[in-house]
């Protein structure tokens, strides 16, 4: 679609060539339905709606649906063909989140940490001139390359927690350095 479609939303993970073509036009590309909402697989949602999007070069995601019942929302199996798509069950004054919703939320949080690290790396490398600071920035970039190369399908929930912890540590290290260089 080239110039005509500025935000294609691809079902599943598109081929790398498709992502690159969309980006060459200066557009963004999102992921959809990988998997559809409602499965009790928190790790799948965390991976697929978190670090996997970044690894593949996707710019965002959306899914269907937060709450869609094919009958009674409290009975996932009351329809002869379809199962309800529910990420959180409604109550009178809020919702009851599911484990799949918590996985999705964790994936979003992983991306928030990662984005913070990427932004501080960019800020640091343009502002810091001392060799020891450059080493820290280089190490953070190498760390990102390692995450980019990981096979996320082989990771456990604890592995994802460890990655987030390491990202947070890198952020703290670079914030200290960046703060020191701005005070001088």
160 and 127 share one domain: yes
Last residue of a domain, one of 70, 96, 122: 96
Which of 63, 81, 96 marks a domain boundary?
Answer: 96
Quote the CA–CA distance of 100 and 46 in Å, as a whole number: 8
Both 6 and 92 in one domain: the answer is: yes
- Whether 87 and 166 map to the same domain: the answer is no
Do 173 and 120 fall within a single domain?
Answer: yes
Predicted model pTM: 0.90
Parallel/antiparallel/unpaired status of strands 9-11 and 30-32: parallel
How many structural domains does the chain have?
2
Q: What is the DSSP secondary structure assignment for residue 15, as one 8-state letter? A: P
Q: What is the pLDDT of residues 13-54, one digit of tens each?
A: 999 999 999 999 999 999 999 999 989 999 999 999 999 999
Are residues 110 and 73 part of one domain? Answer: no
Asked if 89 and 6 sit in the same domain, the reply is yes
* Domain boundaries, position 37: 2-96
Residues 8 and 92 grouped into a single domain: yes
Contact 67, 88 (CB under 8 A): yes
Residues 68 and 112 in one domain: no
- 128 and 49 share a domain? no
Residues in CB range of 77: below 8 A, 6 or more apart: 83
- C-beta of residue 104 within 8 angstroms of C-beta of residue 86: no
DSSP state of 153: G
Domain boundary among 64, 96, 128: 96
Task: Tell me, yes or no, whether 14 and 61 share the same domain.
Answer: yes
Structure-block tokens of residue 117: 């690290």
Question: Same domain for 56 and 123?
Answer: no
Q: What are 55-84's pLDDT values in tens digits?
A: 999 999 998 889 999 999 999 889 999 999
Report the pLDDT value the prediction gives residue 131, as an integer from 0 to 100. 67
Give the orientation angle of helix 157-183 with respect to helix 131-149, to 10 degrees: 160
Q: What is the mean pLDDT of residues 109-130?
A: 86
């Amino acid at each position: 679609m080239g110039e005509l479609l500025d935000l294609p939303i691809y079902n599943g993970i598109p081929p790398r060539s498709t992502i690159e073509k969309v980006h060459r036009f200066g557009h963004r590309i999102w992921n959809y339905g990988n998997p559809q909402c409602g499965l009790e697989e928190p790790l799948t949602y965390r991976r697929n709606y978190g670090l996997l999007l970044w690894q593949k070069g996707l710019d965002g995601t959306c899914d269907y649906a937060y709450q869609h019942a094919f009958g009674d929302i409290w009975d996932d199996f009351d329809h002869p063909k379809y199962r309800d798509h529910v990420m959180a069950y409604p109550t009178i004054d809020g919702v009851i989140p599911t484990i799949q919703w918590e996985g999705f939320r964790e994936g979003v949080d992983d991306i928030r940490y990662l984005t913070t690290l990427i932004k501080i790396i960019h800020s640091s490398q343009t502002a810091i001139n001392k060799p020891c600071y450059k080493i820290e920035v280089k190490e953070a970039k190498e760390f990102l390359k390692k995450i980019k190369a990981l096979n996320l399908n082989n990771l456990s929930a604890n592995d994802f927690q460890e990655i987030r912890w390491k990202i947070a540590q890198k952020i703290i290290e670079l914030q200290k350095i960046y703060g020191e260089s701005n005070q001088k």
